[in-house]
């Protein structure tokens, strides 16, 4: 299928024909169109009123391929419908942290959504050392509400099963199955290693049995545990934030999967930022300790707040219905004990997925800017080795690590031991 992206005038003409969009952009027949093109998958445009640039929307269109690679990696355009559906679903559950969709076109595989113009991509903000005082609170709310309400803990069994069947996302799950859970652990041509990364570190990913077993178990969980509608790609590049507000964007990978995949993705990216800090702050002549401390605090805060909020929503729901998930009335000691065990298991999943997500960012095809922007190869490799070391520990010890504080202590020890 041949695809041609919109020209500015074509997009203007198209948008002016849609009342819901006109209502956003005011009474203006001239629009400013800027292709921002920082997505791996899609074409993304900022469109604003020429009369009043504060009136602005985002347009996102899916070409029939992975934009990062081009026509050589075809991808079904229906992914845009999935993204729209997921944005609407997550938005209904957590409107303060999900951008609004104003218009969706299932023939052009295009949507028009809220422009977040006083926010920036969180990954960039973390690279610049910005402190986001509300981040952990907001993301833990988003996680608790979305993960709970898609699951059997909330939905009636028939609604849940219909959702599982409706949210199968074969093509995008394949990307994760391969790039996160398979290729990093084998000698695959898509892997990319930084020049100074020791061969022993790469070799260990292929041969160290406890690590391989744990990664295999996480792959199995990803492919089989249809627990809830997860975002599926919740790294710090899928979050836009400022000091007061936080939005989760880009849920095109959404599918029915394990809850820990979202919590793990976010924590993994905080930990990558933590290790990358050493270079970014030293380059800027700052002591990295302060911001590193803040990052580890966010790791602790987001998990602890998530667990507390998730349990609370669950408890309230059971109180309202009078029924506990495991049978019997709400509020029994058994129901509370089950909740604790459930969260403990979800914590182990979170750590296991976090480990896999860290590893793929170091040796897999898709990198993160806080690491790739490290210009000193030796420093970069040292940081990458730390990431791999912590990732391995998270995977292998995921059921033994007793708390998120044990995780941050371990993260700091990995840093100290190789400082």
Contact positions toward its own copies, by CB under 8 A?
152, 157-158, 160-162, 164-165, 168, 170, 173-174, 177, 181-187, 206-209, 212-213, 215-217, 219-220, 223-227, 325-329, 332-334, 337-338, 341-342, 345
If the CB atoms of residues 150 and 288 are measured against its own copies, the closer one turns out to be 150
Least gap, CB of 96 to its own copies (angstroms): 29
If the CB atoms of residues 334 and 378 are measured against its own copies, the closer one turns out to be 334
Least gap, CB of 176 to its own copies (angstroms): 10
CB environment 345-358: b (16+ within 10 A), e (fewer): ebbbbbbbbbbbbb
CB 246 within 8 A of CB 305: no
CB 264 within 8 A of CB 230: no
If the CB atoms of residues 246 and 350 are measured against its own copies, the closer one turns out to be 350
If the CB atoms of residues 227 and 370 are measured against its own copies, the closer one turns out to be 227
Those residues with Cβ within 8 angstroms of residue 239's Cβ, 6 or more apart along the chain or in another chain: 121, 122, 123, 139, 246, 247, 248, 249
Residue 127, number of CB atoms within 10 A of its CB: 18
Least gap, CB of 386 to its own copies (angstroms): 23
If the CB atoms of residues 112 and 215 are measured against its own copies, the closer one turns out to be 215
Least gap, CB of 254 to its own copies (angstroms): 14
Q: Would you give the DSSP letter of residue 185? A: G
Those residues with Cβ within 8 angstroms of residue 379's Cβ, 6 or more apart along the chain or in another chain: 278, 279
CB 365 within 8 A of CB 69: no
If the CB atoms of residues 9 and 207 are measured against its own copies, the closer one turns out to be 207
Least gap, CB of 104 to its own copies (angstroms): 23
| Nearest in space to 392 (alpha carbons), one of 372, 411, 365, 412 | 411
- CA 341, distance to chain mean position in Å, is 25
Rounded Cα gap, residues 413 and 255, in angstroms: 36
Rounded Cα gap, residues 38 and 197, in angstroms: 27
Least gap, CB of 141 to its own copies (angstroms): 24
């Amino acid at each position: 299928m041949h695809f041609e992206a919109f020209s500015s005038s074509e997009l203007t003409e198209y948008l002016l024909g849609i009342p819901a969009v006109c209502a956003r952009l005011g009474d203006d027949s001239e629009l400013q169109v800027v292709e921002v093109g920082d997505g791996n998958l899609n074409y993304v445009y900022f469109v604003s009123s020429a009369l009043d640039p504060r009136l602005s929307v985002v347009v996102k269109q899916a070409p029939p391929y992975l934009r990062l690679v081009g026509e050589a990696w075809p991808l079904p355009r229906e992914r845009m419908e999935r993204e729209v559906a997921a944005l609407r679903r997550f938005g209904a559950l957590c409107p303060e942290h999900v951008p609004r969709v104003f218009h969706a076109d299932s023939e052009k595989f295009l949507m028009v959504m809220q422009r977040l113009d006083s926010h920036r991509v969180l990954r960039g903000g973390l690279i610049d050392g910005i402190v986001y005082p509300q981040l952990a609170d907001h993301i833990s709310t988003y996680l608790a509400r979305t993960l709970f309400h898609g699951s059997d803990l909330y939905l009636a069994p028939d609604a849940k099963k219909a959702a599982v069947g409706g949210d199968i996302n074969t093509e995008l799950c394949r990307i994760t199955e391969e790039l996160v859970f398979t290729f990093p652990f084998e000698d695959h041509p898509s892997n990319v290693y930084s020049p100074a990364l020791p061969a022993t570190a790469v070799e260990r990913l292929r041969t160290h049995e406890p690590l391989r077993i744990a990664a295999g178990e996480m792959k199995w969980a990803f492919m089989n545990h249809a627990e809830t509608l997860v975002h599926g790609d919740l790294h710090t590049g899928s979050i836009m934030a400022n000091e007061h507000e936080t939005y989760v964007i880009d849920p095109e990978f959404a599918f029915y999967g394990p809850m820990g995949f979202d919590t793990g993705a976010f924590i993994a990216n905080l930990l990558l930022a933590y290790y990358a800090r050493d270079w970014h702050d030293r380059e800027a002549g700052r002591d990295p300790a302060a911001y590193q401390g803040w990052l580890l605090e966010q790791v602790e805060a987001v998990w602890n707040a998530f667990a507390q909020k998730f349990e609370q929503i669950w408890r309230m729901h059971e109180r309202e219905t009078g029924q506990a998930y495991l049978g019997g009335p709400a509020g029994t000691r058994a129901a509370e004990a089950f909740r604790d065990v459930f969260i403990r298991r979800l914590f182990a999943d979170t750590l296991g997925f976090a480990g896999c997500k860290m590893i793929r960012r170091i040796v897999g095809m898709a990198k993160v800017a806080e690491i790739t922007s490290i210009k000193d190869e030796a420093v970069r490799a040292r940081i990458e080795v730390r990431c791999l070391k912590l990732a391995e520990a998270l995977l292998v010890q995921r059921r033994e690590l007793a708390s998120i504080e044990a995780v941050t202590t371990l993260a700091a020890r990995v840093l100290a031991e190789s400082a």
